[in-house]
Amino acid sequence: LDLEGGSVTLLCSYSTTVTGSVYLYWYRQYPSRGLEYVLLRVARGSPYENKADFAEKRFSSTATDDSTSLSIGELSLSDTATYHCGNYKWTFGRGTRLLVRSNVTNPQPRMYHLKKPRVNDLSVCLFTDFGNEEVNMMGINNIKRTPSMVAEKRLASKSLGIVAWNNNLDWKCQAKISNITYSLSNSSDPYLNSINLAMIFLRVIFVKTVGFNLLMTLKLWSS
């Protein structure tokens, strides 16, 4: 588990009966995907290294007689994957899973209870703008949750959010971070407010358009 923007070094031990040069490979694998070539490093000989295009700047490797390493700099969320090392005989181990966390600065956690008209059997909570700490959604055990990260390029900022929902209408929106409990926010969110205002504006325009069309139709029929 490493922080976005930082660096990490993965280690891999190997054994071989080869007396000459040993070719050591690194691959990465995303969930439900095949292996993706990262780089090749030669041990016990010329320090040759070959890299995939995406690995040219941020990935590097070292090798000794019994181990190899993979270093990744300027970590990004796309680096989250399982990394495999192998020798020239295509012998792999289980791999090392790397998880990169978002680097969120100045978090201001807020909780909102989302309601949809005419839906009486669903309780939905939106928890936004929290940091890298583990979030514990409180109340009941079988909460369904979807985490996400939003990057605001215009504001040069990032925020983490979780949408949690359950069929239990008695569930109160609460979350705990580092022994601090957060409940429903008393302040409104400007972005959500703007969306609500836009929806109201569009509905007014729609009603006026329907009314105007109906009036014109009646005039045509009467003439």
Q: 155-189 b/e with 16+ CB inside 10 Å = b?
A: eeebbbebbbbbeeeebebbbebeeeebeebeeee
90 and 177 inside one domain: no
Quick one: 126 and 173 in the same domain? Answer: yes
The answer on 86 and 150 residing in a single domain is no
Question: 10 Å Cβ neighbour count for 205?
Answer: 10
Report in angstroms the alpha-carbon separations of 56 from 3, 18, 39, 60, 136. Answer: 21, 28, 9, 8, 39
Output the 3-class SS for 128-183: EEECCCCCEECCCCCCEEEEEEEEECCCCEEEEEEEEEECCCCCCCCEEECCEEEC
Asked if 37 and 128 sit in the same domain, the reply is no
**44-93 confidence digits (pLDDT tens):** 877 788 999 999 999 999 998 889 999 999 988 888 899 998 886 566 66
Lowest-pLDDT range of 131-135, 141-145, 156-160? 141-145
Question: 15 and 84: one domain?
Answer: yes
Whether residue 219 lies inside any domain: the answer is no
| Residue whose token pair is 């700099």 | 73
Contact 24, 63 (CB under 8 A): yes
Domain CATH number, residue 46: 2.60.40.10
- The residue out of 73, 101, 129 marking a domain boundary is 101
Q: Is residue 169 part of a domain?
A: yes
144, part of any domain: yes
For the chain, the domain total comes to 2
**How does strand 81-87 pair with strand 67-72?**
unpaired
Range of the domain at 34: 2-101
- HSE-CB at 143 with a 13 A cutoff on CA atoms is 25
The reported pLDDT for the residue numbered 95 is: 74
**Considering the domain boundaries, does residue 82 fall inside one?**
yes
User: pLDDT at residue 142 above 70?
Assistant: no
User: Considering the domain boundaries, does residue 59 fall inside one?
Assistant: yes
Give a yes or no: residue 204 inside a domain.
Answer: no
Verify that 123 and 90 share a domain, yes or no. no
Is 36 contained in some domain? yes
- Digit-coded pLDDT (tens) for 165-190: 666 656 667 777 667 676 765 444 55
Per the domain annotation, does 208 fall within a domain? Answer: no
